Amino acid sequence: MRAIRVASAALLGVSALAMTAPAAQAQGDNSGFWATVRPTTVEPGEHVRLRATGCEQSVTVSSGVFDTVTIPRWRTTAWARVDRDARRGAVYEVSFYCGTFWQSVDLTIAGGRPDRPDRPDRPARPDRPEHPEHGVRAGEGGTLAGLDLKEIGLGAALITAALGTAYHLSRRRTDEDGS
């Protein structure tokens, strides 16, 4: 009889863990698949380098700020040209698709840059402001490996509740049996 209770408690715990797994899959979290965009802030019309590693097949990269690009499976990088009419100060999502997994990276369109002495080929442009039109995009932190802290807390609460219920039921049965 005790073996049945232990097996039931173990099954309930495994079920609680299994219910938290779809959150990671829905986020596209695959520990071997990584995607980056460099640079992360660009002027309209500039090129960005798209890099994807850990995918055994071709990677499709899409965004609202450039045409869809395919990184062949035997390569890890590709280039894309940002649209010249991209809105300054806007943040665009760049999505990398590797089969059923995906990751997204933010790409910021610069609101303007001050003159840079290390780039003499870029003359001063009085029509561009000295500072970006918008501030930084802050307040969205609190993630761990692509999972929101709320999701982690909810998963921990579900597991704790399942284990607590299994323990309570097994203790109650033991008391009822008179053991």
CATH number of the domain that residue 98 is part of? 2.60.40.1930
What DSSP state is assigned to residue 113? Answer: -
Same domain, 22 and 102: no
pTM score, whole prediction? 0.48
Same domain, 97 and 16: no
Same domain, 89 and 52: yes
More confident residue, 5 or 124: 5
Same domain, 95 and 112: yes
Q: What b/e string do you get for 103-125 counting C-beta neighbours within 10 Å, with b at 16 or more? A: bbbebbbbbebeeeeeeeeeeee
Same domain, 133 and 152: no
Same domain, 70 and 127: yes
Same domain, 138 and 150: no
Confidence of residue 168 (pLDDT cuts 50, 70, 90): confident
Same domain, 46 and 134: yes
Structural domain including 7 reads: 1-27+146-179
d(CA 159, CA 101): 26
> Which of 7, 1, 13 is closest to 165 using CA atoms?
13
**Predicted local distance difference test score (pLDDT) of residue 50:** 97
d(CA 9, CA 164): 10
Same domain, 107 and 157: no
Same domain, 64 and 126: yes
Whether the per-residue pLDDT at 124 is higher than 50: the answer is no
pLDDT in tens, 23-40: 444 444 445 899 999 999
pLDDT > 90 fraction of the chain, expressed in percent and rounded: 40
Same domain, 18 and 66: no
pLDDT in tens, 83-111: 999 999 999 999 999 988 999 999 999 98
- Number of structural domains the chain divides into: 2
Same domain, 10 and 73: no
Task: Identify whether the C-beta of residue 61 lies closer than 8 Å to the C-beta of residue 50.
Answer: yes
